[in-house]
Each structure stands twice: as structure tokens, then as C-alpha cells.
Structure 1
Amino acid sequence: MTEASEKKEDKNSLVEGPVLPIISRLAMPMIFGIVAVFSISLVDTYFVGKLGTAQLAALSFTFPVTMAIASLSSGLGAGASSVVSRAIGADNRSHAKRLSTDSLLLASLLVVLISAIGYFTITPLFKLLGASGDVLKYIIQYMEIWYISMPFLVIPIVANAIIRSVGNALWPSIIMFFAAAVNIALTPVLIFGFGPIPAMNIEGAAISTMIARIVTFILALYVAIYREEIIQVSKPEYQVFIDSCKSVLKIALPAGAGSVINPIGIGIVTAIIAGYGDDTVAAFGVATRIESFACIPMLALSASIGPIAGQNWGAGNKHRVIQTLKYCYLICVLWSLVIIALFYGFADQFSSLLASSESVAAKSTDYLYIVAVSLVGYGWIIVSSAAFNSLGKSVTGFNYYAVRTFALYVPLSLAASIWFDEKWVYIAIAIANLVSGFLVAGYTLLWLKKAKQEDCHPDWTLNLLSS
């Protein structure tokens, strides 16, 4: 290892020093990066909404599907980050490089398969979700391009996760911000046309996303290979590659499945509320995009806790993992109070900005008023799940999402839709967030304290969710 590499490694070390400044150093750049990425969705929603309610409803139908695929990619990133950060914490950088390289190769193989399957199942999938007529036509136009650009989404997600695992959150954030700037600049031009560029309508939103992803692909690989020097540009031995894939997939499969559960739940609820009409579907799409944007600081915490917990777990510093998690829980509480104030003060303005009609805006505002009080619970879930993923216990993280979605979120929403109007569906969602959040936070702290005391796997009563 070169002297420059050693200095860089010391600077990025997460296993010593006060925990709160480390959380801030990782989370703050991620907030700006995630804001940039989520702004793409808001900008797409804004300009597609100008095309009409049918186009906006089409985009709302695609949201849970595109989110699910992005979540699968994040699962691969979580798997790579988990094994790489623990290898770095154990002071085995050469093994970390091998794991990083093999993770990217694995992602490349999987993305080709997934994008091909997705491309050829667009129509039956969205018919199953309740889309039809012009809405389905617009969905097909958008998703065909989206799937073609998918490799340029997945590989950078994994590469950026690897870069964060070494303790560098700044460059992934810069990459995300730059790609978002490209996307935002191109979206209105390609949707409505400009000069010699023809109007492409909803397809223009997909093409601008594809171009931005190509930019991200190039920058992320450059930083991982040349700046952080965490990638070995060499052909791996077959057995070494297989072993690396097993290590990554052991985390990635449950982590990816866990991340996919939330958009699956949103997709099911979208189908449930489709019975209330296109305005309600469009409003739900607008509201969930605003909600996702509001949750960015908590998402940044979940992206930051992984490297911190992984490196310290690998170094044997379990007390620092518990301390980090407590700080993250507290930050979620404080930020949720800010969200409540913002939504109760400006929800109608946010909704009106993105909605295609006054009816859509009003329904979206109702959602934001009701669900705002519950987002702290959702924040605790994503932070706790990310922590367990980094510790190599992604089955527990999967179960956290499964309990929220399949035991509470979907059943309560379905029950509310049978007997009441859509406002009661929103109340059901809020209850699901709060109840599951308190259960998850309590279990997580109990498990970690038991693991620290015994310095081994807890007894069977604490191992039920991670077995």
C-alpha cells in the first residue's frame, strides 16, 4: 500500500474518534446526493403532470416497479458494502479489493438478466397492477427505455456503496449531484422539445434518465478504480469469484428483498386505491414522491450507518455500533418533527406544485397531513435494517420490512379500503409506520446489547428473526 493510500485510509477511518462527527461526515454529503437523486423524481413528476392526468397516473404506476428494481440494486450495494467494510475493519484491504471487484462483476451479470426479464413483462405486470387504456400505453413507452438504461443504474449503485464502505461519502454524493443536474436540465427539453429537438412526451423523461445514468456509470467507476483504488482490474480466479459471490449474495439477497418489500407494498396499495379513480392514483403517486423526498435525511443515515457499523463490528467495537444506532434514532425523532412542521405548513403548496389538477392536489395534501406524524417509525426501520445488513445479518433486516409491509401496511390499507374512503387508507399507513417502528427499534437495541454482553450470538429468543 502506498503512503498516500495509508493517509487516505487513516482519514476515512470509522473505528476511532467521537461517533457523532463521523455520522455527520458521512450523512451530510449523502443528504445532498440523495436530494439530487430524488429531485429527479420530483422534476419528472412536475413536467409529466403538465402532459395530463393519464400521463401522471402512468408515472405513478411505474413508481413502485422502478423503486423495487432500484432497491434490488441497493441490496447488491448493501451486500458489497457489508463484506468490504468488515474486511477493512479487520485490516484486510487486499481482501476488500477482491470483494469489491467481484461484487461489480456479479452486479453486471445479474443486471443483464433482470433488465431482459423486465423488458418483456411490462404489459402483463402493469395490467396486473390495474393499468389499462391510455395509461398502460404511456407506461409501456416509458418503461421500455427505462429497462434499456438499467445497467447504467445498477453498477454505479454498487460502485458508490463500495466507495462509501471505505469511509468516503463525499464522492458518491458529488456523482449523484452531477447526474441529477444532467437529468433535470434535459427532462423539460426532451419532454416538450426545444429548437431542433422534437417533443418526446413521456418518453423524453425516460431518455433524460438514461443519459444521466450513463454519466453516473462513468464517474462512479473512475472514482472506485483510480481515486479510492478499491478495485482490482484483473481477472479473478474462478473459485475466488464464487466465494466472493456467495459472501455478497448472503447479504445482498435478503437485503435486496427487504428493500423491495416497501415498493411492493406501495404497488399493492396503488392497486387497492385504483378503485377510487385515476385522480386518487395520481395523488398517491405525488404524495409518496414528496414523502420520499422528506425522508432523505433518514435515508442518508441508513446509508451512513452501514460503513460505521460494518467497520466497527469487524474491528470488535460493538459498543460503538450501539452508540451509533442510538444517535441515529434520536436524529430520526428530531427530523420527523421538522417534517410534521413542514407538511402542516406547506403540504398544499407542495402538492399543488406537482399535481395535474386541484382534485389531485387536495387528495395528495390529505395523505401528507395524516402520514407526516408516522415517518419517525419508518426512519427507525430503515436505519435498523441497514445496521443489521452491515453486520452480516440481512435476514433480520428483511424481516423488519416484511413485518411492516405484510403484517401491517397492506392488511390495514386493504381493510380500510373495504369499509371507508381513501383517507382511512392513509390512517392505516400511519398506524403501520408507528407500530412497526417502535417494535423494530426495541428489538434492535435489545439484540445488540445482548450480543455485546455475551460477545457471541444471543440465545434462541433473540435469534428468532435472524435465523
Structure 2
Amino acid sequence: MMENNDRLNNSDHMDKMGNMPVGKLIFNMSWPAILSMFIQAFYNVVDSFFVSLISEQALAAVTYIFPIQMLIISVSVGTGVGINSLISRRLGAQRYEEADMAASHGYRLSFINWMFFALIGIFLSKPMMNLLSDTPYIVENGINYMFIITVGSLFSIVQVTTEKILQSTGNMKIPMVCGIFGAVTNIIMDPMLIFGIGPFPEIGVTGAAVATVLGQLVSMCLGQIFLFKKKHAVHVKLFGWKMQGRILKDIYAVGAPAILMQSIMSVMQFGMNIILSGLTETAVAVMGVYGRLQSFIFMPVFGLNQGVLPIMGFNYGARNRKRLMETFKKGFMTAFVIMGLGLLLFQTLPYQLLTIFNSTGSQEMYDIGVPALRTISLCFLPASFGIMSSSIFQAIGHGFMSLWGSLLRQLVGILPLAWIFASIAGLKLVWYAFPIAELIGVVYFAIALKYVYKKDIRRLDIIKEDYVN
């Protein structure tokens, strides 16, 4: 009886992913993820806002650890993208048992990934902060923040895996609900733990880290209830099976490039912190502010990406070229509009945006930050094409195409350009590294997309006809 119900769920899933009008399907799949990512961006900003009320040095301490947080996200989201892509393709091809095993492997991998970051936090927190800063306050608070974030990363890593498993089946609302409850928990606990409100002690920057972990714990617990207590198109098996190299290879064929692609962002942020700290630590704080503010723009686009990826993966597995490309085109158009609105916001209101994090009224932060926000935001529009191109590569199993694009933009582009510009003209020119690197990325992604289309996508209808016959 259970098997029949599961097949009925799969039939409903196939009808939606394969037949619902693409525009409506993208909206239904994306709005919960967009809302969830927007809330995520909001509580990241709130977190930094409360830290900035302590001091500019407190904000700098958190900014120094931001690359480590990005690295955690890189591994968990990258692995999740591989799981999502594989499950979607297997469901599209009606290979249900393989979809179950992909989900089960992914869930187990989340615990392995956590152990790696826990070891980093235990052994490398102090050496890393001593390398980055010689200001005692920043070093001490950075060590505490990094230790808590890494050792407590179990909750966020498991939750991201749970989210990607559910999203691969077309279920976008449950991850949204989990994210909302986690974000609300973090927002409530931030001021209480940072400033010692009510029965809670005043623990400053450390309180921000504890609040973040508590929010992740709430999200994870809700996710597990939904994953194991509700019926889905796939089932996660905890015990009674051995990990298979073939499935791990299939997951990381897309997941490894996605991890590296996300990790490159962490390396870029780390490198930018070093370049900027050689000029002034206020510039490091500004970079941290930009990272939080731009998440309001990029997070909704990443939410859109989460919605379109399983649609494209499913229709690639079902060999439906028309729906695959229609999803890509409409996804890109939507991303372009979101980024355009973000560009308008950063160009017209940079002073007001900086005021959110400049509780001391530091004129130096305004002098550095206003031109920085206006210049860096020029990268928004070209970035929309890169993000959507990466999503189609990941959806159809060409994850390394996305990886090369990120390498070109962030390591070959941003960091060398930033170093050269900083050497030539300091802060006045360094921010232009971002839009120039994105333009380089547009050229690469256009060429790569044309190649993949001719090699794989254009032939899908022919392959489908041969398959049916």
C-alpha cells in the first residue's frame, strides 16, 4: 500500500514538473525559496547590525570569520546541489530506487562534512585570527565566534541537505517554513545574548554566534520532522545499506564543482580582507557591510536558482529540450529584473544603506563605503547571466562548466585585479575589480552555454524520439 501511495506521489510530481506551464511552475517552485533566502539575508543583516552596535572592531572581527562561514555554506550547499541534481534527473527518468539512494547518501554525507569543520574550529581558530589581525579585541572575539560557528555547524549542514532533498522533489514550502522559524529564532536571540537582555548574560560578539547556531538548530529540527514524518517522492534510509562509489561519483560530478565554486567565493573574500586590511581596517568593515547588503539582492536570485534547477534537471532527464530552455530563459529574465532593482537601490541610496551599520557615525566609513557600494553594484546585471548559466550546467550534470566560470571571475579576475588596482590607486580603484571580473565571466558563460547547447541540449528531442521508439 505504501509503495502505491509513493508511486502516486511520483505521478503527481511528474505531471507538475513535465506539464505545468513553465512560468507558473517557476513561480510555484521559486517563491518559497526566494522568500526563505530573503529572510536569510534579513537575519544576516540584523546579526551584523547588532554586532555593529558594539563597535566597528566587533564588526571587523565577524567580517574576518565570514569566509569560514562561506566555506561551510560552500560544502553543504555544493553537496546539496549535487544531491538535488541527481535526484531530479533520476525522478525525471523514473528511476525511483536510485533517487532514494541518492537522498540517503547525501544525508549521511552531511555528518561527515560536519566533522571536517568541527576539527577546523577546534584546531585552527586561534592561528587564523593571529594571522589576520594584531588587534587583541578583534583576535579574541574572532576566535570565539569561529569556534562556535564551526563546531555548531552540524545543524546548518544537516538542514541544507534536508532542504535540497525536499526541493529536488518539487517541495519548496517546507524548506521555507524551516528557514523562517530559524531566522526568527536568530533575530530574537541576537540582542538578548549580545546585550544581556532578560535572564541572558551579556556576551557580545560571542552571543551573535550562539544566536546563529540556535537558529540553525531550530531549522534543522523542523526539517527532520518534515523529512521523516511526511510522505515524499523519495525516501531517506538511515541504516541497512553501504555507501556506493558510483552514487558518490554521480553526486560529486555536480557537487564537487559546486563546492569549489562556492569555496572560491570564500577564498576571494579571504584574499580581499588581506588586501583591504593593508589599506585600512575600515575598508574590511565596509566589505563586510557590502557582503550583508548584497545578500538582499543575490539571495532572492539564489532562491530563484533553487526553483529552476530541479525543473531543468527533471526535464533534462525526461529529454524535453523545449521546457528545459524555456525554464532557463524565463529564469534569466526574472534574475535580470531582480538584479536591476538591486543596482538601482545601491546607486541611489548607498549612504542610507551604510547608516544601518554605522552606529558611531564614522565619516571614514561613509567616505570609503559610498563609492564602494556604487562601484561594486555595477556587477549585478552581468552576474544574473552567470548565475542562471551555472544553474543549467548543474542541472544537466556539467558542474565543472560552472566551476571554470567561478575560477575565471573570482580568482583570475577579482583578486589579481583588486591587488593591482590597490597598488596603483588604493581604495579609489580597487572596487572596480568586481564589475570588470563579471564582464569577463559573461564572455565565458556565453561561449560555454553555446558549446553545451550544441553538444547535449540540442539533441534531446532526437534522443527522446529514439528512446520512445
Q: Same fold (TM over 0.5)?
A: yes
1:30 to partner: Cα distance = 1.0
Matched with 1:231 is 235
Secondary structure of 2:203's aligned partner: coil
CA change 1:227–1:271 in 2 (3 A) is same
- Work out whether residues 183 and 208 of structure 1, in 8 Å CA contact, stay in contact via their aligned partners in 2: yes
- Alignment of 1:256 with 2:246, yes or no, is no
Task: Quote the Cα distance in structure 2 between the aligned partners of 1:133 and 1:332.
Answer: 43
- Work out whether residues 306 and 390 of structure 1, in 8 Å CA contact, stay in contact via their aligned partners in 2: yes
- Work out whether residues 110 and 158 of structure 2, in 8 Å CA contact, stay in contact via their aligned partners in 1: yes
- Work out whether residues 107 and 236 of structure 2, in 8 Å CA contact, stay in contact via their aligned partners in 1: no
- Alignment of 1:379 with 2:381, yes or no, is no
Task: Quote the Cα distance in structure 1 between the aligned partners of 2:197 and 2:392.
Answer: 46
- Work out whether residues 60 and 281 of structure 1, in 8 Å CA contact, stay in contact via their aligned partners in 2: yes
Give TM-score, length-normalised by structure 2. Answer: 0.92
Matched with 2:101 is 98
Of residues 354, 358, 381, the one that matches 2:363 is: 358
Matched with 1:313 is 316
Task: Quote the Cα distance in structure 1 between the aligned partners of 2:246 and 2:417.
Answer: 42
Higher mean displacement: 20-29 or 352-361: 352-361
1:324 to partner: Cα distance = 1.5
CA change 1:285–1:450 in 2 (3 A) is same
Higher mean displacement: 13-22 or 66-75: 13-22
Matched with 1:10 is 12
- Work out whether residues 312 and 324 of structure 2, in 8 Å CA contact, stay in contact via their aligned partners in 1: yes
Measured against aligned partners, the alpha-carbon deviations of 1:63-112 in whole angstroms (never above 9, x if no partner) come to 12211221111011011101111111111223212210121012212211
CA change 1:125–1:383 in 2 (3 A) is farther
Of residues 420, 429, 434, the one that matches 1:424 is: 429
Letter in 2 for 1:246: K
1:175 to partner: Cα distance = 0.9
- Work out whether residues 167 and 307 of structure 1, in 8 Å CA contact, stay in contact via their aligned partners in 2: yes
Task: Quote the Cα distance in structure 1 between the aligned partners of 2:336 and 2:400.
Answer: 26
1:209 to partner: Cα distance = 0.9
Measured against aligned partners, the alpha-carbon deviations of 1:182-230 in whole angstroms (never above 9, x if no partner) come to 1001100000011221101001001111111111111112222222433
- Segments of 5+ residues of structure 1 without an aligned counterpart are 457-467
Of residues 53, 58, 65, the one that matches 2:56 is: 53
Letter in 2 for 1:120: F
Task: Quote the Cα distance in structure 2 between the aligned partners of 1:9 and 1:46.
Answer: 47
Within a 5 Å distance, the mapping from 1:219-298 to structure 2 comes to: 219-229=222-232, 230-238=234-242, 241-298=244-301
CA change 1:319–1:179 in 2 (3 A) is same
CA change 1:221–1:243 in 2 (3 A) is farther
Task: Quote the Cα distance in structure 2 between the aligned partners of 1:428 and 1:119.
Answer: 35
Matched with 1:217 is 220
Letter in 2 for 1:103: G
1:4 to partner: Cα distance = 7.2
- Work out whether residues 122 and 143 of structure 1, in 8 Å CA contact, stay in contact via their aligned partners in 2: yes
Measured against aligned partners, the alpha-carbon deviations of 1:353-392 in whole angstroms (never above 9, x if no partner) come to 1134332244222221112222122222222222212222
- Alignment of 1:148 with 2:151, yes or no, is yes
- Alignment of 1:340 with 2:351, yes or no, is no
CA change 1:61–1:343 in 2 (3 A) is same
Secondary structure of 2:254's aligned partner: helix
Letter in 1 for 2:325: I
Higher mean displacement: 216-225 or 153-162: 216-225
Task: Quote the Cα distance in structure 2 between the aligned partners of 1:9 and 1:31.
Answer: 26
Of residues 114, 138, 142, the one that matches 1:139 is: 142
- Alignment of 1:21 with 2:40, yes or no, is no
CA change 1:233–1:4 in 2 (3 A) is closer
Give TM-score, length-normalised by structure 1. Answer: 0.92
1:342 to partner: Cα distance = 1.3
Letter in 2 for 1:383: M
- Alignment of 1:448 with 2:461, yes or no, is no
CA change 1:372–1:310 in 2 (3 A) is same
Within a 5 Å distance, the mapping from 1:120-199 to structure 2 comes to: 120-130=123-133, 132-199=135-202
Task: Quote the Cα distance in structure 2 between the aligned partners of 1:171 and 1:30.
Answer: 10
1:280 to partner: Cα distance = 1.1
- Work out whether residues 273 and 284 of structure 2, in 8 Å CA contact, stay in contact via their aligned partners in 1: yes
- Work out whether residues 376 and 434 of structure 1, in 8 Å CA contact, stay in contact via their aligned partners in 2: no
Secondary structure of 1:316's aligned partner: coil
Task: Quote the Cα distance in structure 2 between the aligned partners of 1:128 and 1:323.
Answer: 49
Task: Quote the Cα distance in structure 1 between the aligned partners of 2:424 and 2:171.
Answer: 50
Secondary structure of 1:194's aligned partner: coil
- Work out whether residues 261 and 405 of structure 1, in 8 Å CA contact, stay in contact via their aligned partners in 2: yes
Task: Quote the Cα distance in structure 1 between the aligned partners of 2:310 and 2:215.
Answer: 26
- Alignment of 1:202 with 2:168, yes or no, is no
Task: Quote the Cα distance in structure 2 between the aligned partners of 1:285 and 1:207.
Answer: 20
CA change 1:313–1:169 in 2 (3 A) is same
- Work out whether residues 320 and 460 of structure 2, in 8 Å CA contact, stay in contact via their aligned partners in 1: no
- Segments of 5+ residues of structure 2 without an aligned counterpart are 462-469
Matched with 2:110 is 107
- Work out whether residues 347 and 374 of structure 2, in 8 Å CA contact, stay in contact via their aligned partners in 1: yes
1:53 to partner: Cα distance = 1.2
Of residues 21, 37, 40, the one that matches 1:37 is: 40
Of residues 396, 399, 406, the one that matches 2:401 is: 396
Secondary structure of 1:167's aligned partner: coil
Matched with 2:412 is 407
Aligned residues between the structures:
456
Task: Quote the Cα distance in structure 2 between the aligned partners of 1:110 and 1:403.
Answer: 27
Task: Quote the Cα distance in structure 2 between the aligned partners of 1:352 and 1:264.
Answer: 28
Measured against aligned partners, the alpha-carbon deviations of 1:225-256 in whole angstroms (never above 9, x if no partner) come to 22243333452432x54433232233222211
Letter in 2 for 1:428: A
CA change 1:131–1:100 in 2 (3 A) is farther
Task: Quote the Cα distance in structure 2 between the aligned partners of 1:165 and 1:131.
Answer: 46
